[in-house]
Amino acid sequence: MTRHVPHLYLPGPYEPGRIGVVESTRLHLEKVLRNLGPVAVTYTDGEGLSGSGVYFGGWIERGAEEIQERGHPVTIAVSPPKNKSRARFVVEKLAEMGVARLLWLATARTEGRMPRVEKSALWAQAALEQSRGSWLMEVSGPVAVSDMGRFGSVLLADPHGVGIDDIVVPEDAILCVGPEGGFAPDELPEVVGKLRLARNLLRVETAALVGAALLTHKASS
Protein backbone atom coordinates (compact mmCIF):
# COMPACT_ATOMS: atom_id res chain seq x y z
CA MET A 1 0.00 0.00 0.00
CA THR A 2 1.32 3.45 -0.92
CA ARG A 3 2.20 5.52 2.14
CA HIS A 4 0.36 8.83 2.54
CA VAL A 5 2.63 11.80 1.86
CA PRO A 6 1.72 14.73 4.15
CA HIS A 7 1.22 18.11 2.49
CA LEU A 8 2.25 20.99 4.75
CA TYR A 9 1.58 24.70 4.81
CA LEU A 10 4.90 26.29 5.74
CA PRO A 11 4.92 30.09 5.37
CA GLY A 12 8.13 31.52 3.93
CA PRO A 13 10.67 32.81 3.47
CA TYR A 14 12.75 29.64 3.63
CA GLU A 15 16.39 29.13 4.52
CA PRO A 16 18.61 27.75 1.74
CA GLY A 17 18.44 23.97 1.75
CA ARG A 18 16.11 23.45 4.69
CA ILE A 19 12.87 24.58 6.33
CA GLY A 20 12.27 24.65 10.05
CA VAL A 21 8.82 23.55 11.23
CA VAL A 22 6.85 25.04 14.10
CA GLU A 23 6.02 22.93 17.14
CA SER A 24 2.38 22.35 16.17
CA THR A 25 3.44 20.96 12.79
CA ARG A 26 6.08 18.74 14.39
CA LEU A 27 3.56 17.33 16.85
CA HIS A 28 1.05 16.68 14.08
CA LEU A 29 3.62 14.81 12.01
CA GLU A 30 5.12 12.82 14.87
CA LYS A 31 2.25 12.28 17.31
CA VAL A 32 -0.78 12.18 15.01
CA LEU A 33 0.67 10.82 11.76
CA ARG A 34 3.50 8.93 13.52
CA ASN A 35 6.11 10.14 11.06
CA LEU A 36 9.32 10.44 13.07
CA GLY A 37 11.48 10.88 9.98
CA PRO A 38 13.05 10.65 7.61
CA VAL A 39 9.79 10.71 5.63
CA ALA A 40 8.75 12.21 2.30
CA VAL A 41 6.54 15.31 2.47
CA THR A 42 5.27 17.99 0.13
CA TYR A 43 4.89 21.61 1.17
CA THR A 44 3.77 25.05 0.09
CA ASP A 45 4.33 28.61 1.26
CA GLY A 46 0.71 29.47 0.41
CA GLU A 47 1.86 31.94 -2.22
CA GLY A 48 2.22 29.58 -5.14
CA LEU A 49 5.46 27.77 -4.30
CA SER A 50 5.07 24.01 -4.14
CA GLY A 51 7.83 21.59 -3.28
CA SER A 52 8.74 18.09 -2.19
CA GLY A 53 11.25 17.22 0.48
CA VAL A 54 12.15 14.98 3.39
CA TYR A 55 11.18 15.54 7.02
CA PHE A 56 13.93 14.94 9.59
CA GLY A 57 12.40 15.49 13.04
CA GLY A 58 12.00 19.25 13.31
CA TRP A 59 13.11 20.35 9.88
CA ILE A 60 12.61 19.58 6.19
CA GLU A 61 15.29 19.11 3.58
CA ARG A 62 14.13 21.08 0.54
CA GLY A 63 13.80 19.22 -2.74
CA ALA A 64 12.39 20.03 -6.16
CA GLU A 65 10.22 23.17 -6.14
CA GLU A 66 8.06 25.04 -8.61
CA ILE A 67 5.64 27.95 -8.72
CA GLN A 68 2.07 26.90 -9.39
CA GLU A 69 0.16 29.35 -11.56
CA ARG A 70 -2.94 30.73 -9.95
CA GLY A 71 -6.08 30.81 -12.04
CA HIS A 72 -8.35 33.82 -12.14
CA PRO A 73 -8.69 34.93 -8.49
CA VAL A 74 -12.24 34.57 -7.17
CA THR A 75 -13.54 36.65 -4.25
CA ILE A 76 -16.65 35.69 -2.30
CA ALA A 77 -18.32 37.97 0.26
CA VAL A 78 -20.64 36.11 2.65
CA SER A 79 -22.85 37.03 5.56
CA PRO A 80 -21.90 34.54 8.32
CA PRO A 81 -24.41 31.71 8.84
CA LYS A 82 -25.99 31.52 12.28
CA ASN A 83 -24.39 28.18 13.12
CA LYS A 84 -20.63 28.11 13.74
CA SER A 85 -20.20 24.75 12.04
CA ARG A 86 -21.83 26.15 8.90
CA ALA A 87 -19.45 29.12 8.97
CA ARG A 88 -16.52 26.72 9.24
CA PHE A 89 -17.94 24.77 6.30
CA VAL A 90 -17.90 27.96 4.21
CA VAL A 91 -14.23 28.61 5.00
CA GLU A 92 -13.05 25.06 4.46
CA LYS A 93 -14.89 24.38 1.23
CA LEU A 94 -14.05 27.72 -0.40
CA ALA A 95 -10.40 27.18 0.52
CA GLU A 96 -10.47 23.66 -0.96
CA MET A 97 -11.90 25.11 -4.17
CA GLY A 98 -9.03 27.56 -4.50
CA VAL A 99 -11.00 30.76 -3.84
CA ALA A 100 -8.56 33.64 -3.46
CA ARG A 101 -10.39 35.70 -0.85
CA LEU A 102 -13.31 35.37 1.54
CA LEU A 103 -14.84 38.52 3.00
CA TRP A 104 -17.23 38.20 5.93
CA LEU A 105 -20.13 40.62 5.46
CA ALA A 106 -21.73 42.66 8.23
CA THR A 107 -25.37 43.35 7.38
CA ALA A 108 -28.45 44.57 9.19
CA ARG A 109 -29.99 41.08 9.10
CA THR A 110 -26.90 38.96 9.74
CA GLU A 111 -27.77 36.42 12.43
CA GLY A 112 -24.43 34.66 12.78
CA ARG A 113 -21.23 35.92 14.33
CA MET A 114 -18.14 36.23 12.19
CA PRO A 115 -15.55 33.66 13.31
CA ARG A 116 -12.35 35.19 14.60
CA VAL A 117 -9.99 35.92 11.71
CA GLU A 118 -7.31 33.80 13.39
CA LYS A 119 -9.69 30.84 13.64
CA SER A 120 -10.81 31.24 10.01
CA ALA A 121 -7.15 31.34 8.96
CA LEU A 122 -6.47 28.02 10.72
CA TRP A 123 -9.45 26.42 8.98
CA ALA A 124 -8.22 27.74 5.64
CA GLN A 125 -4.71 26.42 6.29
CA ALA A 126 -6.01 22.95 7.17
CA ALA A 127 -8.14 22.93 4.02
CA LEU A 128 -5.11 23.98 1.96
CA GLU A 129 -3.14 21.04 3.29
CA GLN A 130 -6.00 18.59 2.83
CA SER A 131 -6.57 19.70 -0.78
CA ARG A 132 -2.81 19.80 -1.51
CA GLY A 133 -3.11 23.34 -2.83
CA SER A 134 -0.45 26.00 -3.31
CA TRP A 135 -2.37 29.23 -2.67
CA LEU A 136 -3.74 30.09 0.76
CA MET A 137 -7.14 31.77 0.81
CA GLU A 138 -7.20 35.20 2.42
CA VAL A 139 -9.95 35.72 5.02
CA SER A 140 -10.92 39.14 6.37
CA GLY A 141 -13.82 41.12 7.76
CA PRO A 142 -16.23 42.22 8.93
CA VAL A 143 -16.92 44.38 5.88
CA ALA A 144 -19.96 46.65 5.69
CA VAL A 145 -22.12 46.27 2.61
CA SER A 146 -21.61 49.96 1.86
CA ASP A 147 -17.84 49.38 1.65
CA MET A 148 -17.98 46.52 -0.85
CA GLY A 149 -17.20 48.80 -3.79
CA ARG A 150 -13.67 49.45 -2.60
CA PHE A 151 -12.83 45.75 -2.99
CA GLY A 152 -14.09 45.35 -6.57
CA SER A 153 -17.15 45.15 -8.80
CA VAL A 154 -20.06 43.62 -6.91
CA LEU A 155 -22.17 40.80 -8.34
CA LEU A 156 -25.18 40.10 -6.19
CA ALA A 157 -26.40 36.54 -5.67
CA ASP A 158 -30.12 36.94 -6.36
CA PRO A 159 -32.79 34.31 -7.11
CA HIS A 160 -34.36 36.81 -9.52
CA GLY A 161 -31.12 37.47 -11.39
CA VAL A 162 -29.81 35.98 -14.64
CA GLY A 163 -27.80 32.84 -15.31
CA ILE A 164 -24.01 32.81 -15.48
CA ASP A 165 -24.06 32.59 -19.30
CA ASP A 166 -26.09 35.80 -19.53
CA ILE A 167 -23.94 38.03 -17.39
CA VAL A 168 -20.64 39.82 -17.92
CA VAL A 169 -18.25 38.99 -15.08
CA PRO A 170 -15.66 41.75 -14.52
CA GLU A 171 -12.09 40.71 -13.74
CA ASP A 172 -12.37 42.24 -10.27
CA ALA A 173 -15.78 40.71 -9.57
CA ILE A 174 -16.88 39.97 -6.00
CA LEU A 175 -19.85 37.69 -5.53
CA CYS A 176 -21.91 38.99 -2.63
CA VAL A 177 -24.05 36.44 -0.74
CA GLY A 178 -26.42 38.11 1.70
CA PRO A 179 -27.93 36.87 4.96
CA GLU A 180 -30.73 34.33 5.11
CA GLY A 181 -33.26 37.13 5.66
CA GLY A 182 -31.96 39.09 2.69
CA PHE A 183 -30.47 42.57 2.63
CA ALA A 184 -32.35 45.44 4.20
CA PRO A 185 -33.78 47.71 1.45
CA ASP A 186 -31.56 50.63 2.41
CA GLU A 187 -28.28 48.69 2.42
CA LEU A 188 -28.22 47.07 -1.01
CA PRO A 189 -24.80 47.67 -2.55
CA GLU A 190 -24.27 49.20 -5.97
CA VAL A 191 -23.91 46.21 -8.25
CA VAL A 192 -22.80 45.46 -11.80
CA GLY A 193 -25.21 42.55 -12.09
CA LYS A 194 -27.44 40.06 -10.30
CA LEU A 195 -26.56 36.38 -10.64
CA ARG A 196 -29.06 33.55 -10.25
CA LEU A 197 -27.29 30.55 -8.75
CA ALA A 198 -30.00 27.89 -8.97
CA ARG A 199 -33.70 27.33 -9.51
CA ASN A 200 -34.29 26.91 -5.79
CA LEU A 201 -33.48 29.25 -2.92
CA LEU A 202 -30.13 28.21 -1.44
CA ARG A 203 -28.77 28.37 2.08
CA VAL A 204 -25.92 30.81 2.63
CA GLU A 205 -23.15 28.20 2.62
CA THR A 206 -24.57 26.44 -0.43
CA ALA A 207 -24.88 29.72 -2.32
CA ALA A 208 -21.26 30.60 -1.55
CA LEU A 209 -19.99 27.29 -2.96
CA VAL A 210 -22.21 27.31 -6.03
CA GLY A 211 -21.27 30.91 -6.75
CA ALA A 212 -17.57 30.16 -6.41
CA ALA A 213 -17.90 27.21 -8.79
CA LEU A 214 -19.78 29.29 -11.36
CA LEU A 215 -17.26 32.16 -11.28
CA THR A 216 -14.32 29.76 -11.49
CA HIS A 217 -15.86 27.98 -14.46
CA LYS A 218 -16.72 31.27 -16.16
CA ALA A 219 -13.15 32.55 -15.74
CA SER A 220 -11.63 29.39 -17.24
CA SER A 221 -14.00 29.06 -20.19
Span 54-72, pLDDT tens digits: 988 788 899 999 999 887 8
Contact 37, 56 (CB under 8 A): yes
Distance CA 125, CA 114 (A): 18
Q: Could you give phi then psi for residue 124, rounded to 5 degrees?
A: -65, -40
Q: Which range marks the domain in which residue 56 is found? A: 7-67
Tell me what percent of the residues of the chain surpass a pLDDT of 70. 95
What is the DSSP code (8-state) at residue 109? T
Distances (CA, A) of 28 to 50, 98, 117: 20, 24, 22
pLDDT at 180: 83
| Confidence category of residue 39, pLDDT binned at 50, 70, 90 | confident
Distance CA 148, CA 105 (A): 9
The SS3 assignment for 161 reads strand
- Are 116 and 37 part of one and the same domain? no
pTM of the model: 0.89
CATH number at 108 reads 3.40.1280.10
- Are 54 and 106 part of one and the same domain? no
Q: What is the mean pLDDT of residues 155-163?
A: 91
pLDDT at 209: 96
Residue 2 domain flag? no
| Confidence category of residue 141, pLDDT binned at 50, 70, 90 | confident
- Are 108 and 154 part of one and the same domain? yes
pLDDT at 1: 43
* Packing angle, helices 84-96 and 204-220, rounded to 10: 10
Residue 150 domain flag? yes
* pLDDT greater than 80 at residue 3: no
Distance CA 36, CA 60 (A): 12
Number of domains in the chain: 2
Residue finishing a domain among 50, 67, 84:
67
How much is the mean pLDDT over the chain? Answer: 88
- Are 115 and 213 part of one and the same domain? yes
pLDDT tens by residue, 171-218: 889 999 988 888 888 887 788 899 999 988 889 999 999 999 999 988
pLDDT at 91: 97
pLDDT at 128: 96
Q: What is the mean pLDDT of residues 19-30?
A: 77
Contact 110, 189 (CB under 8 A): no
What is the DSSP code (8-state) at residue 208? H
Tell me what percent of the residues of the chain surpass a pLDDT of 90. 50
pLDDT at 184: 85
